[in-house]
Amino acid sequence: MHFWRRLIGRGRGRRQAVLAVFLVAAILFLGRHTVRRQSVSEAESWLRDADRIPKDEYNKLLLERADRKSAWPNYAGSKWRATSEQQRELNQVVKAALLRRSKRAAPDNELLWAQRRLQVKAATKHAWDAYARDAFGSDEYHPLSHRGENMTQAGVGYFIADVLDTLILTGLTDEYKRGRDYLASSLTFDQPGAVSLFETTIRVLGGLLSAYHWSGETDAKLLQLADELGSRLAWSFDTETGIPPETAQLRPSGKPHAFLSSTAEVATLQLEFKYLAKLTGKQEYRKYVDRIMDVMFKAPKYDGLAPIYMDATSGKFSGSEIRLGSRGDSYYEYLLKQWLQTRQSEPAFHAEYEAAMEGVKKYLVTVSPNQKLTYVGEIQQATTDTPHFNPKMDHLVCFLAGNLALGATKGRALSNIPPTQLSARDREDLILARELADTCMHMYFDTKTGLSPELVYFRHIDPATGKETEFNKDDQLVLPEGDILVRSGDRHSLLRPETVESLFVLWSITGEEKWREYGWHIFTAIEKWAKLPEGGYTSLRDIATAVPPPREDKMETFFVSETLKYLYLLFSDPGSVPLTHYVFNTEAHPLPQFTWN
């Protein structure tokens, strides 16, 4: 009592003040206790819901897919569906994510991943230092011959612009400053020469815009370079239909002429030009690329699937091949990402994306006979009533695993999504994403080097005849009893990023440790076979059958811009570049989401 008398004192005002303090403390304690009880109750509810499988909803989805009129009278499609076992496995993934959330503790092995992250940073420096020593300022780098090469007479900053944000994100600040200063003082786009509209947009324009953002959005010179490049490339959009040619002139004159353009290339300019429009206030940039999408939306498709060429004269798709590999891939990628870029405010993109994914599942997804590998094939002879299914999958297609997971969750982690908010389609997309990612890893695991070839074929049972498709004479099974076939001309590796891109997205969304371990497998294989002790990395000519694989005198810019960046982020906290706030362009340049207002 003596203590309390001394604390409260004898004055009435002091007694009232102290009592008020106690009252506030009690309210805060009770409030925190109530919030904690509500949080525990919510967590328990979510965990119970995680056991749910929406069978009726999924059966309805499958029935609607089956009842939809086929794009081809004599082609039934692949009829893929998620199995009950896969549904239960997804439930376990969701439950594990929710349990990790309830513990609110850092994983025990974060020190291990921090060490591995530092190894990726060291690899990035190893690649940059060799380029800076042998070819600084050049567009391309040939590490075996220790030389650079330009795409135009003076170069367009192809390599440096593409890797700037990787240098920022990996903390290589001195290297970033040297690259940035070179672009600011020496790069000019006022020069003669033709460049790829697509590659220059995703690598140089996208790289400049991302570096501008990640350096604090205060470097006016980077934005000025991006604006200058954008204005020169925009000349290509001045065609009758708005569909640009595949090449752009840096010193344009007259009107551009376009005949056939790659579907993926003309549909993969939008994120970059829209963000440029947002930053500069020049809405014509947005109008150019929106016009392309308007033409594509109106053009007839095959149940949401688009052939790999656009006729710039008619504004319609052209050709008889449909695939999600070369010339098709990023068309589907950017349908989703344009919707996410403007914070889900333009629903037409999402509707077109979902229609396309329905077509993918109905006609292109199938499972191999022995290893039960889920993959995405191709359609040939699409203009006939009897198209041909080709059991071929480019490594490029491995982007789709991450894209499906991104579309299903809008970039949110499963630990932050009430299980009841995942629709039957969302769940199916997550299941397909995980299955495809596992298949893509078999393209690495099953080879002698642990690296993936450029593309593979799969053993395939023709549903019409029940017989296995015959091998071509140059097909070689990667495993004697396996399902992956590699032809002699496809055994090279450019150290592409699509698989590690999907591993990063899946890790960020599911929190499953296996995706990181897969990435570590890829990184160690790259270090073992592609690293040059004297500096740099090389592409490889035959990773499927030759040990050691012979080297190719080229270090692709996307190896540093994409592959190493995604590996670094895979080994980092998912919050370092949150998928709820950023969209990665197809060259792995993370651009912030925004609204037009």
Q: Name the residues annotated as catalytic.
A: 199, 329, 454, 498
Question: What span, in angstroms and rounded, lies between the C-alpha atoms of 224 and 392?
Answer: 43
Amino acid (1-letter code) at residue 520 = W
Beta strand 392-394 pairing with 455-458: antiparallel
Q: DSSP 3-state assignment of 380?
A: strand
Q: Tokens at residue 16, please?
A: 């009232």
Question: What span, in angstroms and rounded, lies between the C-alpha atoms of 51 and 92?
Answer: 8
Q: C-alpha distances in angstroms, 2 versus 5, 7, 8, 20?
A: 5, 9, 10, 20
Q: Tokens at residue 265, please?
A: 């290339």
Question: What span, in angstroms and rounded, lies between the C-alpha atoms of 584 and 214?
Answer: 13
| Residue with tokens 């999907």, as numbered in its chain | 502
| Residue with tokens 């540093």, as numbered in its chain | 560
- Reply yes or no: is the peptide bond before residue 548 cis, omega within 30 of 0: yes
Q: Residue 157: left if φ>0, alpha if ψ -120 to 50, beta else—which one?
A: left
Question: What span, in angstroms and rounded, lies between the C-alpha atoms of 43 and 5?
Answer: 44
Question: What span, in angstroms and rounded, lies between the C-alpha atoms of 55 and 217?
Answer: 48
Q: DSSP 3-state assignment of 384?
A: coil
Tell the burial category of 346 from Cβ atoms under 10 Å away from its Cβ (0-12, 13-18, 19+).
Answer: middle
Tell the burial category of 68 from Cβ atoms under 10 Å away from its Cβ (0-12, 13-18, 19+).
Answer: middle
Q: DSSP 3-state assignment of 389?
A: strand
